[in-house]
């Protein structure tokens, strides 16, 4: 069954990817989820279009029944990730390999500290909780978008909001914190003022 996970690579590409695999696998020559996620951080592969949960889904598709990646399955996972990151590229794996094999590591070098807490956080149940929180935040944002508030229904969905970089006006943000009981339940009005001052973008 491992043959279905084979990916055809150039000799030079395979040599470099072998090196990446060996740098991240354990003593049994297997890559676990947290190692795969740390690799994604290290190589700067995570973004709004490729969040943690998307990398988790790729890992789950490629992993065996024990939840790990052998070398062939690692190559297969990289190929799946390439299709996700470069869907319009005529050869997604080429763009992926350029990113994977580049000497420059991580977006601005922001790789998590590899301590016990990080290993606990980079587990599937935690990532699923974060995914649910993100989806909830998107629903709240969509509900309180000014166009949707005025129409009293959703006329602009999240995909359009994200694509156009639309933001909330302060009045609607205040409506949300009041309706949800954040003020005065979890913070006082002074704390809210400090929060608004920190996050609002003012026209220049």
On whether both 84 and 17 belong to a single domain, the answer is yes
* Residue 173 Cα distances to 47, 73, 118, 149, 177, angstroms: 25, 46, 32, 11, 6
On whether both 57 and 8 belong to a single domain, the answer is yes
Q: Is residue 118 part of a domain?
A: no
pLDDT in the model for residue 103: 56
pLDDT in the model for residue 59: 96
Domain holding 40, by residue range, is: 2-113
Grade residue 107 by pLDDT with cuts at 50, 70 and 90.
very low
On whether both 108 and 15 belong to a single domain, the answer is yes
pLDDT in the model for residue 186: 66
Per DSSP, the three-state class of 92 is: helix
**Of 113, 144, 169, at which residue does a domain stop?**
113
On whether both 53 and 145 belong to a single domain, the answer is no
Determine what percent of the chain is predicted with pLDDT higher than 70.
85
pLDDT in the model for residue 79: 87
Distance of CA 169 to the CA centre of its chain: 26
pTM greater than 0.85 (yes/no): no
pLDDT in the model for residue 193: 73
Q: How far apart are CA 137 and CA 83, in angstroms?
A: 27
On whether both 107 and 154 belong to a single domain, the answer is no
List the structure tokens of 63. Answer: 């992993």
Q: How many domains does the chain have?
A: 2
pLDDT in the model for residue 185: 65
């Amino acid at each position: 069954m491992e043959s279905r996970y084979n990916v055809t690579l150039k000799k030079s590409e395979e040599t470099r990817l072998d090196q990446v695999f060996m740098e991240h696998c354990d003593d049994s020559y297997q890559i676990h989820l947290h190692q795969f996620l740390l690799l994604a951080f290290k190589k700067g592969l995570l973004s709004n279009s490729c969040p943690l949960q998307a990398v988790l889904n790729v890992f789950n598709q490629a992993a065996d029944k024990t939840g790990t990646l052998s070398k062939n399955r690692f190559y297969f996972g990289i190929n799946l990730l390439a299709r996700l990151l470069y869907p319009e590229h005529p050869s997604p794996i080429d763009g992926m390999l350029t990113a994977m094999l580049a000497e420059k590591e991580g977006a601005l070098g922001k790789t998590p500290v590899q301590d016990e807490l990080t290993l606990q956080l980079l587990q599937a149940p935690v990532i699923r909780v974060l995914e649910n929180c993100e989806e909830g935040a998107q629903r709240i944002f969509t509900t309180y978008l000014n166009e949707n508030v005025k129409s009293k229904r959703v006329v602009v969905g999240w995909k359009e909001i994200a694509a156009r970089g639309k933001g909330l006006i302060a009045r609607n943000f205040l409506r949300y914190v009041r309706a949800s009981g954040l003020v005065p339940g979890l913070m006082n009005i002074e704390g809210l003022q400090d929060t608004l001052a920190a996050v609002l973008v003012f026209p220049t």
